[in-house]
Chains A and B, each alone.
Chain A
């Protein structure tokens, strides 16, 4: 077993663990292939089990022979381990570094994890693409298996929904005209008025304005006679212009006269990663200066990104719901900002996406199947000081936006904030296979459904689910329009200040809320029972009266 080679010291006694807002624990530190474990070996104290894959960065410090390792986690937690003995400390540190940066996916914990629970409903089979889209299909749309062997588009799933009027040959041609072969596919069908949202990669117009008749035909096929559609390009116009030089580009008015193009500036990649790093740095700043905090918060630009994404999603939703127009969304690759917009727009438009099951389905459909490269994006989090290449908190930003909407509409979501935090954690480090790989093709190759457990299998067990249900939920079938004013968009404390403050009082308030709602339900059922009793009495009395 190759892990053993990486573990230089498997066990150290007398290690002291410091965690924010928790008492220090002294105990034995153990390293296993996938976990860092600290146990005081007393019955009543909690053990620390930390996945190596959750470790973003470690720092070493020495005072005499006492070494200290500061472990910075991808979930933004920072813990400190005081380890007696210089050599042990160095060994532990280098072991952790090696184990937390394993190259091979197949060495990741999900391939070794065996569930301690019975899998009742297998999450791997819960959201099959056929089922997902089946409900959306009308006589205008069909499921195409043109990508069955991932030959047309390596980042698309095997089945995609496309207009019925367009055959597979046309799709193949369109794929050559779109970045990464990501030809326009159906993302969302608005039942109310039959309008649709599609997503794609950028068109490869290049500097000389290449056209593709098939592409025009495909997207025009989604328009109602005499109607116009909207193309939402998630890049600023100058960024889109620059893309031409690299073979990309955008839809020219001349070629797409029935479409109106709108540019919105949603940032990508390293800009987002830097934004996250700055934000987390601001949150961890111990200085007591208000000016410094506000200026760092502002300089991180994180809230600006949130505002931009929510605004663009509102725009897409408005085009569909208010203007009665179909929408095509793309950025460059169509795997990041595009998905933020299409998935958030569905939260706004579709009440199903605000249910537990519906939201899981949305993540599965619009993120996992749609080819968001989770493994690349979530390889590092806010503490890593290695140069970010493909890392970016794209999914975290999406979750942040969902949280903003949830906070503004506290009764319209079946799930609660804890569920969003859970998804954030598991996207970065998990015992489940759900977020491994970068696209459907990779997942198939890794045989994830056979070899790993799905996060959904675990979450949807009634025992677990309970924690993630919103007690205030009342199904609301309407479109919800979130406010995008800066004062309506708050810092997501549940993630960014989670380890910097005691949550005791807020947790108590949550419990109190649950208590109030449950008590009310209890009373209601009592009254209902009495009512039935009364109804019986009433008829009984009626009988009494007659003689």
Chain B
């Protein structure tokens, strides 16, 4: 609280980018965790909540006659612009928010103060919702080929790895230790995915410290053991996800890549995914394109090309496809690494797993996959997503790219994924917001030291609780698309610009419902109808002269039934609104969009606050009264 200079500023305007000419006036409050804007309108009292930890940039723009504009850019790509009447207030708010949005210590992060109304038991249960040992068991491990190694107990061998790891049965602790000494940061080759159908595996590690000629017997034995653990193949692939040039440059620093001559039975392959710095500047360039005011088609397409973003997404998906094909079609195990094995390796391994195993295309499965390939294997969440004020060169949209790969795949296979786009967006937000402890720190070890399990809540329990919001209406567990291995096309034209993610601030308002919205609504309605029908069948069929008692029972049940029916008809009415008098004005959109500490999931474009409002979204937000779409070229229309 010591950072808040002014807890409350009156007569602040919130400008909506969708219609900058209609600001709404209200009061801006600064709390320890949120900026809250309350509109003055007596009728509506709408609130906009912005979590400090989601703010990545606070910008003071040049003063205008209307006041001092203050721009908040959020890590989930939302943008808020306030106009504060007094220069002094603006400075104070700017200074406070700048400090609040850049916590210096973990203890300042929201997850340590976030306290939803759940008891201790429920919280602990939440933390055990995703159990990685159960996941390895699900894959069929341990078995006659693979065993759990004790080598990394207490993080003795590698402090960025989890403590429980699977290695081939023949691998002894000395081999693990020896191999780890030959790998960057001790990240020795270990199993991440086991393909039950044919025993082929995906293993991961960091780069070998091979330099120009160094060798390590234990490391060679390790790879040999991995190859032999796959009875179906006489060789394995070693995949370096970096561009060849980068890997070669690393040799000069005593690192590098495996020499095919030193390892028996490996086939080596580069996959050409660029490093975190290239990715960071690529995403930055893409934002600049999204930020353009009334861009032409040429501006947009040229900017998109110039950013290179889709090229990088394609490279990651191509890497995943290569690995998945090796495992599923050739039955060959693959060892994946990059430099440290926590960014590109995580991307490639998780995309490949997603393609190989339908489980990861379920809601629970994606949680497990992220927990395994990202959280447990030491993806540096706090560094990459700038949870604390630190080195900006460590920040990079690695996870954004993985989520985008999932989204791109869901375009090609609309029925294959149990979760919808909203789930990916919320996940993205949670990774940045630090409302939950899951993504804190940079390794499992750090999280243990921070005692996140005791002091914070788990995001998985929270997402699971709200799972109804995240279900893809087209998903059916028995559908052919949900079975087996996915074989996506990766021709350049298969990749789309992810508007839902990168144009957040404009899309929340005034958009006609998408097909997914509509189908979700219809499916929910069907479920209610189903429940209604099945309840109905329990009512005893009235005979010509029912006994008095059963007749009475029937009456009682019927009353309930009629109530339910009324509900249904009410809902149906909402589904077919005639002219809804007042169209939603812009701020309602923002209000919907508010971030309440008790329910952070309202923070994105949730049209699903309640079943009823949701049903009304069947009718596109259009019409003479509605505010014109933000995107339409305003200048072109100012004809008067």
The reply to whether the CB of A516 lies closer than 8 angstroms to some CB of chain B is yes
Please state if A527 and B533 are interface contacts (CB–CB under 8 Å): yes
Please state if B489 and A474 are interface contacts (CB–CB under 8 Å): no
Please tell me which one of the listed residues B297, B525, B533, B632 contacts residue A482 in the complex, with CB atoms under 8 A apart: B632
Please state if A505 and B568 are interface contacts (CB–CB under 8 Å): no
Please state if B515 and A408 are interface contacts (CB–CB under 8 Å): no
- CA–CA, A486 and B506, complex, Å: 13
Please tell me which one of the listed residues B492, B503, B639 contacts residue A315 in the complex, with CB atoms under 8 A apart: B639
Q: Which residues of A contact B493 (CB under 8 A)?
A: 283, 293, 297, 491, 493, 497, 500
Please state if B474 and A509 are interface contacts (CB–CB under 8 Å): yes
B585-640 interface with A by 8 A CB criterion: 618-620, 622-624, 626, 628-633, 636-637, 639-640
Please tell me which one of the listed residues A288, A294, A480, A534 contacts residue B622 in the complex, with CB atoms under 8 A apart: A480
- CA–CA, A303 and B90, complex, Å: 42
Q: Which residues of B contact A523 (CB under 8 A)?
A: 526, 529-530, 533
Please tell me which one of the listed residues A311, A483, A526, A531 contacts residue B636 in the complex, with CB atoms under 8 A apart: A311
Interface centre among B515, B554, B637 (most CB of A within 10 A): B637
- Which of B20-28, B303-311, B432-440 participates in binding chain A? B303-311
Please give me the residue from chain B that is nearest to A513 by CB atom: B519
18 additional contacts (CB under 8 A) given A516-B519, A544-B551: A288-B490, A294-B304, A306-B297, A314-B632, A321-B624, A409-B512, A411-B518, A476-B619, A478-B626, A480-B623, A485-B630, A505-B415, A508-B481, A512-B474, A520-B525, A523-B533, A526-B533, A527-B565
The reply to whether the CB of B298 lies closer than 8 angstroms to some CB of chain A is yes
- Which of B102-110, B164-172, B263-271, B555-563 participates in binding chain A? B555-563
- Proximity string of chain B (514-541) to chain A, C-beta cutoff 8 Å, 1 when within and 0 when not: 1100110011011001101100100000
The reply to whether the CB of B570 lies closer than 8 angstroms to some CB of chain A is no
Q: Which residues of B contact A526 (CB under 8 A)?
A: 529, 533
Q: Which residues of B contact A450 (CB under 8 A)?
A: none
Please state if B494 and A501 are interface contacts (CB–CB under 8 Å): yes
- CA–CA, A468 and B234, complex, Å: 54
Please state if B622 and A486 are interface contacts (CB–CB under 8 Å): no
Q: Which residues of B contact A294 (CB under 8 A)?
A: 301, 304-305, 310, 492
> With A474-B618, A480-B620 given, is the CB distance from A292 to B492 under 8 Å?
yes
The reply to whether the CB of A247 lies closer than 8 angstroms to some CB of chain B is no
Please give me the residue from chain A that is nearest to B617 by CB atom: A411
Q: Which residues of B contact A322 (CB under 8 A)?
A: 624
Please state if B568 and A527 are interface contacts (CB–CB under 8 Å): yes
Interface size class of A (residues with CB under 8 A): 35 or more
A496-547 interface with B by 8 A CB criterion: 497, 500-502, 505-506, 508-509, 512-513, 516-517, 519-520, 523-524, 526-527, 530-531, 534, 537-538, 540-541, 544
Please state if A481 and B305 are interface contacts (CB–CB under 8 Å): no
Please state if A298 and B302 are interface contacts (CB–CB under 8 Å): yes
The reply to whether the CB of B480 lies closer than 8 angstroms to some CB of chain A is yes
- CA–CA, A321 and B536, complex, Å: 49
- CA–CA, A292 and B536, complex, Å: 61
The reply to whether the CB of B513 lies closer than 8 angstroms to some CB of chain A is yes
The reply to whether the CB of A260 lies closer than 8 angstroms to some CB of chain B is yes
B462-498 interface with A by 8 A CB criterion: 473-474, 476, 479-481, 489-497
Q: Which residues of A contact B67 (CB under 8 A)?
A: none
The reply to whether the CB of B287 lies closer than 8 angstroms to some CB of chain A is no
> With A486-B296, A505-B414, A516-B519 given, is the CB distance from A476 to B620 under 8 Å?
yes
- CA–CA, A517 and B523, complex, Å: 8
Please state if B633 and A487 are interface contacts (CB–CB under 8 Å): no
Please give me the residue from chain A that is nearest to B486 by CB atom: A505
- CA–CA, A412 and B619, complex, Å: 8
Q: Which residues of A contact B633 (CB under 8 A)?
A: 311, 314, 484
Q: How far is the CB of A78 from chain B (nearest CB, A)?
A: 15
Please give me the residue from chain B that is nearest to A348 by CB atom: B622
Q: Which residues of A contact B555 (CB under 8 A)?
A: 541
Q: How far is the CB of B567 from chain A (nearest CB, A)?
A: 11
What are 25 inter-chain pairs, A to B, with CB distance below 8 A?
A: A288-B491, A290-B492, A303-B297, A304-B296, A314-B633, A411-B513, A476-B620, A478-B624, A478-B626, A479-B624, A481-B622, A487-B300, A487-B499, A491-B493, A501-B491, A505-B415, A505-B416, A506-B414, A509-B414, A512-B479, A523-B533, A526-B533, A527-B532, A527-B533, A544-B551
- CA–CA, A297 and B497, complex, Å: 14
The reply to whether the CB of B290 lies closer than 8 angstroms to some CB of chain A is yes
Please state if A487 and B497 are interface contacts (CB–CB under 8 Å): yes
Q: Which residues of B contact A501 (CB under 8 A)?
A: 489, 491, 494
Q: How far is the CB of B556 from chain A (nearest CB, A)?
A: 11
> With A298-B301, A501-B494 given, is the CB distance from A412 to B415 under 8 Å?
no
- CA–CA, A482 and B300, complex, Å: 18
Please state if A476 and B622 are interface contacts (CB–CB under 8 Å): yes
Please state if A517 and B522 are interface contacts (CB–CB under 8 Å): yes
Please state if B474 and A478 are interface contacts (CB–CB under 8 Å): no
Q: How far is the CB of A247 from chain B (nearest CB, A)?
A: 29
Please state if A512 and B415 are interface contacts (CB–CB under 8 Å): yes
The reply to whether the CB of A65 lies closer than 8 angstroms to some CB of chain B is no
> With A411-B619, A517-B522 given, is the CB distance from A531 to B565 under 8 Å?
yes
Please state if B639 and A230 are interface contacts (CB–CB under 8 Å): yes
- CA–CA, A516 and B480, complex, Å: 16
- CA–CA, A487 and B309, complex, Å: 15
The reply to whether the CB of A319 lies closer than 8 angstroms to some CB of chain B is yes
Q: Which residues of B contact A192 (CB under 8 A)?
A: 624
Q: Which residues of B contact A484 (CB under 8 A)?
A: 631-633
- CA–CA, A315 and B481, complex, Å: 43
Q: How far is the CB of B303 from chain A (nearest CB, A)?
A: 9
- CA–CA, A519 and B301, complex, Å: 41
- CA–CA, A330 and B290, complex, Å: 34
The reply to whether the CB of B314 lies closer than 8 angstroms to some CB of chain A is yes
Please give me the residue from chain B that is nearest to A289 by CB atom: B492
Q: Which residues of B contact A502 (CB under 8 A)?
A: 489
- CA–CA, A508 and B558, complex, Å: 40
The reply to whether the CB of A295 lies closer than 8 angstroms to some CB of chain B is yes
The reply to whether the CB of A410 lies closer than 8 angstroms to some CB of chain B is yes
Interface centre among A230, A512, A540 (most CB of B within 10 A): A512
Q: Which residues of A contact B630 (CB under 8 A)?
A: 483, 485
Please state if A530 and B526 are interface contacts (CB–CB under 8 Å): no
- CA–CA, A127 and B622, complex, Å: 29
A380-429 interface with B by 8 A CB criterion: 408-412
- CA–CA, A482 and B511, complex, Å: 10
Q: Which residues of B contact A537 (CB under 8 A)?
A: 542, 558
Please give me the residue from chain A that is nearest to B489 by CB atom: A501
Q: Which residues of B contact A540 (CB under 8 A)?
A: 542
Please state if A318 and B637 are interface contacts (CB–CB under 8 Å): yes
Please state if A483 and B619 are interface contacts (CB–CB under 8 Å): no
Please state if A513 and B620 are interface contacts (CB–CB under 8 Å): no
The reply to whether the CB of A2 lies closer than 8 angstroms to some CB of chain B is no
Please tell me which one of the listed residues B415, B496, B623 contacts residue A479 in the complex, with CB atoms under 8 A apart: B623
Q: Which residues of B contact A306 (CB under 8 A)?
A: 297
Q: How far is the CB of B497 from chain A (nearest CB, A)?
A: 6
Please state if A411 and B620 are interface contacts (CB–CB under 8 Å): yes
The reply to whether the CB of A262 lies closer than 8 angstroms to some CB of chain B is yes
Please state if A318 and B639 are interface contacts (CB–CB under 8 Å): yes
- CA–CA, A420 and B558, complex, Å: 49
Q: Which residues of A contact B491 (CB under 8 A)?
A: 288, 293, 500-501
Q: Which residues of B contact A488 (CB under 8 A)?
A: 499, 631
- CA–CA, A79 and B565, complex, Å: 57
Please tell me which one of the listed residues A262, A297, A481, A527 contacts residue B639 in the complex, with CB atoms under 8 A apart: A262
The reply to whether the CB of B579 lies closer than 8 angstroms to some CB of chain A is yes
The reply to whether the CB of A149 lies closer than 8 angstroms to some CB of chain B is no
Q: How far is the CB of A245 from chain B (nearest CB, A)?
A: 28
Please give me the residue from chain A that is nearest to B545 by CB atom: A544
- CA–CA, A512 and B301, complex, Å: 33
The reply to whether the CB of A307 lies closer than 8 angstroms to some CB of chain B is yes
Please state if B311 and A409 are interface contacts (CB–CB under 8 Å): no
The reply to whether the CB of A118 lies closer than 8 angstroms to some CB of chain B is no
Please tell me which one of the listed residues B414, B561, B620 contacts residue A409 in the complex, with CB atoms under 8 A apart: B620
The reply to whether the CB of B412 lies closer than 8 angstroms to some CB of chain A is yes
Q: Which residues of A contact B298 (CB under 8 A)?
A: 298, 301, 304
Q: How far is the CB of B12 from chain A (nearest CB, A)?
A: 28
